[in-house]
Amino acid sequence: MLLGIKAWGYIYFLQVEEGNIPPVPEVTPPPIPEDLKTAIKSGKVRAPTHIISTISDDRGEEPCYAGVPMSTIIERGYGVGDVISLLWFKRSLPRYCTQFIEICIMLCADHGPCVSGAHNSIVTARAGKDLVSSLVSGLLTIGPRFGGAIDDAARYFKDAYDRGLTPYEFVEGMKKKGIRVPGIGHRIKSRDNRDKRVQLLQKYAHTHFPSVKYMEYAVQVETYTLSKANNLVMNVDGAIGSLFLDLLSGSGMFSKQEIDEIVEIGYLNGLFVLARSIGLIGHTFDQKRLK
């Protein structure tokens, strides 16, 4: 017959009293840990840091971008380019730099409904999907054949120029590797039908930039590639890629290590992603209006 806990306890007590078995030593139970929220509130512990962010801060009276209060941004008439310089580069770039960023955004905002990104966003919108889904479907096509060559153009032009390669050595070296020169070539534009966007960017840089050494090198490369085929002109990817190198190096606000890191991380493709989002959203709204 099964005995209850109290019965077993009584039997154990009798056995210990009669000396038949040794007593079991008392064990002090461990203390129950304090609740984390209570411990944090009392200042005894702090929660571990899950992420670190260095570009913005909202712990004060107003949000700050790279240490610049929101009120200062508005009072000084900062534009989108200035906000990008603070949040991306963590510093206030000269006005000619931030204006160049804004020009790039305006020139790359859209390029008609036939490019892959716009086409995808249009089809997705016509399928009844929401704005975010339509936008993302277009953004996912950005890559080597649609807008994603800006970073590669900057990387290759920078490497070739810094190593002192002639346009011939650069282009033929790329050919031996089986790699197309990023930023060179267009399906429609040619020697006699230049991309107006490229011309506008070059004109602005010649007027405002202290140095355009990388752009001039890219033009020399274009001159050589045009001797091969009439459509191997510099495209907007090559123009932005080379000119951004001039912006970074000519502004005097970036070290060589910082410039290398910016090019490697993919800042320049980020500029195209930001710009083209404007057009993709527009195409989505356009299809919704057309029902």
Distance in angstroms (rounded) separating the CA atoms of residues 109 and 274: 8
Per-residue pLDDT at 3 exceeds 70: no
Distance in angstroms (rounded) separating the CA atoms of residues 194 and 202: 12
Cα separations (Å) of 123 from 115, 263, 286?
Answer: 12, 33, 12
Q: What is the mean pLDDT of residues 48-66?
A: 90
Per-residue pLDDT at 250 exceeds 90: yes
Q: What percent of the chain has pLDDT over 70?
A: 98
Would you kindly state where each structural domain of the chain is located, as residue ranges?
56-92, 116-290
For the stretch 163-186, pLDDT in tens is 999 999 999 999 999 999 999 998
Per-residue pLDDT at 150 exceeds 60: yes
Check residues 263 and 39 and name the one with the higher pLDDT.
263
Mean pLDDT rounded to a whole number for the chain = 92
Q: Tell me, rounded to whole angstroms, the distance of Cα 86 from its chain centroid.
A: 14
Per-residue pLDDT at 70 exceeds 80: yes
Distance in angstroms (rounded) separating the CA atoms of residues 196 and 213: 21
Q: For residue 20, what pLDDT is reported?
A: 78
Q: For residue 4, what pLDDT is reported?
A: 64
For the stretch 84-116, pLDDT in tens is 999 999 999 999 999 999 999 999 999 999 999
Q: For residue 1, what pLDDT is reported?
A: 45
What global pTM score does this model have?
0.83
Per-residue pLDDT at 209 exceeds 90: yes
Check residues 1 and 135 and name the one with the higher pLDDT.
135
Q: Give 279's contacts (C-beta < 8 A, 6+ positions apart).
A: 109, 110, 111, 117, 118
User: Phi/psi at 146 (nearest 5 deg)?
Assistant: -145, 90
Give the pLDDT band of residue 243 (cuts 50, 70, 90): very high
Q: For residue 2, what pLDDT is reported?
A: 52
Q: For residue 62, what pLDDT is reported?
A: 93
What ranges in the chain are assigned the alpha helix state H? Answer: 5-17, 36-42, 70-75, 80-89, 95-108, 116-126, 131-139, 150-162, 167-177, 196-208, 213-226, 236-250, 256-265, 267-290
